[in-house]
Amino acid sequence: METVFNYPVRVYYQDTDTGGVVYHASYLNFMERARYEWLRELGFGVDAMIQSHRTIFLIRSLNIEYFKPAVLDDLLNVTVQVAEVGRSRIALRQQVMREQGTLVSAMVHVVCVGMDTFKPTGLPLPLRQKIGKPS
């Protein structure tokens, strides 16, 4: 699936170090917010996943590369794109961009787990149907 979800993020003082440069861990927060809103747009907000399917997503692994820094008051665009879908996992490409330039790129692997066991479980069928199989 080639669909790219876009989420705008403004850099606030709390996201930066004393020099006004975005702290490296803040990018993880930006990407988390984008994934949350991506799921919500698909109709699978976190509350719905818990209530209807008794599942949540946990980060299994992530690989992140930093290219250029963002600074205080920048307006960023954080993207989410499905790269691969497995039985209980989704690989997501994420980027943090300013205008047309990529600042940060990451591959995030999430796994769907049962709320009661925290063991991997199959993706809810309606979600699987919604995201399809990426090409």
74's CB contacts (< 8 A; 6+ apart) are 10, 11, 22, 98
Reported confidence tier of residue 133, pLDDT bands at 50, 70, 90? low
Q: What pLDDT does 47 receive?
A: 87
Reported confidence tier of residue 135, pLDDT bands at 50, 70, 90? very low
CATH of the domain at 22: 3.10.129.10
| pTM more than 0.75 | yes
Q: Enumerate the active-site residues.
A: 17
The domain tally of the chain equals: 1
Distance CA 78, CA 13 (A): 18
Domain residues for 102?
Answer: 5-131
Which of 44-53, 67-76, 92-101 bottoms out in mean pLDDT, i.e. has the lowest?
44-53
Q: What pLDDT does 2 receive?
A: 67
Indicate the helix (H) or strand (E) that contains 113: strand 101-114
pLDDT digits (tens, 9 = 90+) for 2-16: 699 999 999 999 999
What's the average model confidence in pLDDT over 88-93?
97
Q: What percent of the chain has pLDDT over 90?
A: 83
